[in-house]
Structure 1
Amino acid sequence: MADPMFSVRGLKVALPDMARKPAFGSAPKIEILKGLDFDLPRHQVTGIVGESGSGKSTLGRALVRLLEPSEGAVTFDGRDITHLPEGELRPLRRDLQMIFQDPMSSLNPRRTIGAIIAAPLRQNGMAGNLAGRVAEALRRVGLPENFAKRYRHELSGGQRQRVGIARALALAPKFVLADEIVSGLDVSTQAQILTLLEKLASEMGLTVAFISHDLSVIRRLCKQVIVMRHGQIVEAGPTDKIFAAPRDAYTRELIAAIPLPEIDAGWLGERQGKEAV
């Protein structure tokens, strides 16, 4: 892949296994990611999919350096960020933003929506015309300007998630990590948020890693997909090709679990025919 946004080689992440922590001393580490190699293309939405415990969220956090790799290399926009100290990493944080799964826990209940969106702008030296920047961020995600005066508890789940998107995009980042951002929403609101994210990614030229356990969501939104299981990549490539001809048995299981209207009818018929034989 020419000039990817991320280039990842031999990525391993080991985390403390608190279930085995002794009464005294540190907990032993368990390897979560087991030597991943992949590139993340620019200006596209790439899906990272797998069941709970597959390592997809750990991978996302390693990309934005909320977790430091144990081994391997992570190159972002041509720069090796694998073990950058926080002082050197801080200027890059503006370009590495994250939309969290649960806006109820990621939005401060004591601060107005306007203050929440303004906080990263202040921290990154963009305090000029702050009210105007906050208003523009709200408009971008389909919320009225007067929402800046509201608090978290006054918003619906979908509105809170729009605020999370507005906060992440206020800095005009190069890369956005979206971690299970529609899993707690009803189907109708999910569709609205996915449409909004797709529109903004196209308009702003964003590179997005979209983490989900739901392949039907991945199929709708993502041009590329990475399928993970037990801390390893079992399959990766263009979404349409993987859905049309999945090579790995685990990928086929995930696709077969999608509600029937979402499954490629030709592949399902072929699969059922082989099983009948």
Structure 2
Amino acid sequence: MADLYSVENLRLSLADMTAKRLFGAAPHIEILHGLNFTIPRGAVVGIVGGSGSGKSTLGRVLVRLLRPSGGRVRFDGTDITDLEEAALRPLRRRFQMIFQDPMSSLNPRHRVGTIIAEPLRLHGFDRVPDRVATALDQVGLPQGFAARYPHELSGGQRQRVGIARAIALEPDFILADEIVSGLDVSSQAQVLNLLERLVKDLGLTLAFISHDLSVIRRLCQRTIVLHRGTIVEDRPTAELFADPSAAYTRELLEAIPLPDPGQVWS
């Protein structure tokens, strides 16, 4: 299976805006420290870690919402590390992101149909109304939802709109950043089932960011564990749960709530 992403010695430093300085630039903090990994085409890869581990920052680098400070990021053989926006624009359709909070990522003044149609028009797609209808159908929303506003939808429905907006562009890669963390258990299960079906039906490559290893275990074939901007494990998910090699991974596993207090993960 060919690699869709190849990441080599990836580093990212950001300005520390909390530092008080009268003169000169703010000092920089290194967030990601020399990361090396690949994402095979068609794979579902989990990126997991606690708050401050750098997982969401890494995701934004993969879709070039952030430019790396060093190293290389290659997407389908193209080095996107330092591409300017004009050169990136044709590629942006191919890697899409679904955000954690759909209410803040969906324009509250636009109807659902417009929200899905806008990026299609931006990227020059034809038959936009048909594509909007198809995307809604693929995420299990009735056609009438195109006329609704985001505030008229439930959290799970809004997240489905975010997914519809992403898949309407027929991408190769989708980054899902904590997209079920704000949903109730029933809605979480429905969104995870939807993602599993879309990955299979559309041949997508998916990176799923989460702090919750139980969700990662359900969805992902491989798991990358981040701790303080460093990869501490990168293994098949089943192996990681059966025999975690890093102390930090064991801590994450022990933090998963279990119905039986005497039960352990195996």
Instruction: Report the TM range for the smaller structure's normalisation.
Output: over 0.9
Q: What are the residue-to-residue correspondences of 1:72-111 with 2, within 5 Å?
A: 72-111=71-110
Deviates more, 1:211-220 or 1:2-11: 2-11
Number of the residue aligned with 1:18: 17
Secondary structure of the residue aligned to 2:207 is strand
Number of the residue aligned with 1:177: 175
Letter in 1 for 2:4: M
Q: What are the residue-to-residue correspondences of 1:52-67 with 2, within 5 Å?
A: 52-67=51-66
| CA distance in 2: counterparts of 1:75 and 1:21, whole angstroms | 37
Number of the residue aligned with 2:234: 236
Q: What are the residue-to-residue correspondences of 1:1-277 with 2, within 5 Å?
A: 3-126=2-125, 128-261=126-259
| CA distance in 2: counterparts of 1:217 and 1:111, whole angstroms | 32
| CA distance in 2: counterparts of 1:267 and 1:176, whole angstroms | 29
Could you tell me how far 1:26 is from its partner in structure 2? 2.4
The percentage of aligned residue pairs carrying the same residue is 65
| CA distance in 2: counterparts of 1:70 and 1:217, whole angstroms | 31
Could you tell me how far 1:21 is from its partner in structure 2? 4.3
Number of the residue aligned with 1:273: none
| CA distance in 2: counterparts of 1:163 and 1:253, whole angstroms | 35
Letter in 1 for 2:158: R
Letter in 2 for 1:117: I
Could you tell me how far 1:260 is from its partner in structure 2? 2.4
Letter in 2 for 1:204: L
| CA distance in 2: counterparts of 1:240 and 1:167, whole angstroms | 31
| CA distance in 1: counterparts of 2:49 and 2:260, whole angstroms | 17
| CA distance in 2: counterparts of 1:152 and 1:267, whole angstroms | 39
User: What do residues 44-93 of structure 1 show as CA deviations (whole Å, max 9, x unaligned)?
Assistant: 11000000000000100111111111010001101111101111111000
User: What do residues 233-265 of structure 1 show as CA deviations (whole Å, max 9, x unaligned)?
Assistant: 0001100010011111111111111122599x6
In the alignment, is the contact (CA less than 8 A) between 1:216 and 1:262 conserved in 2?
no
Secondary structure of the residue aligned to 1:260 is coil
| CA distance in 2: counterparts of 1:117 and 1:229, whole angstroms | 35
What root-mean-square deviation, in Å, do the aligned CA atoms of Structure 1 and Structure 2 show? 1.6
| CA distance in 1: counterparts of 2:23 and 2:102, whole angstroms | 36
- Number of aligned residue pairs: 266
| CA distance in 2: counterparts of 1:154 and 1:187, whole angstroms | 21
In the alignment, is the contact (CA less than 8 A) between 2:253 and 2:265 conserved in 1?
no
Letter in 1 for 2:103: M
| Change in CA separation of 1:43 and 1:125 when aligned onto 2, cut-off 3 Å | same
Could you tell me how far 1:209 is from its partner in structure 2? 0.6
| CA distance in 1: counterparts of 2:46 and 2:60, whole angstroms | 15
| Change in CA separation of 1:195 and 1:219 when aligned onto 2, cut-off 3 Å | same
| CA distance in 2: counterparts of 1:234 and 1:37, whole angstroms | 11
| CA distance in 2: counterparts of 1:90 and 1:112, whole angstroms | 25
Letter in 2 for 1:119: E
Letter in 2 for 1:46: V
Secondary structure of the residue aligned to 1:259 is coil
Secondary structure of the residue aligned to 1:5 is strand
| CA distance in 2: counterparts of 1:134 and 1:215, whole angstroms | 33
| CA distance in 1: counterparts of 2:45 and 2:186, whole angstroms | 23
Letter in 2 for 1:188: S
Secondary structure of the residue aligned to 1:134 is helix
Normalised to the residue count of structure 2, the TM-score between the two structures is 0.97
| CA distance in 1: counterparts of 2:265 and 2:189, whole angstroms | 25
| Change in CA separation of 1:266 and 1:182 when aligned onto 2, cut-off 3 Å | closer
Secondary structure of the residue aligned to 2:3 is coil
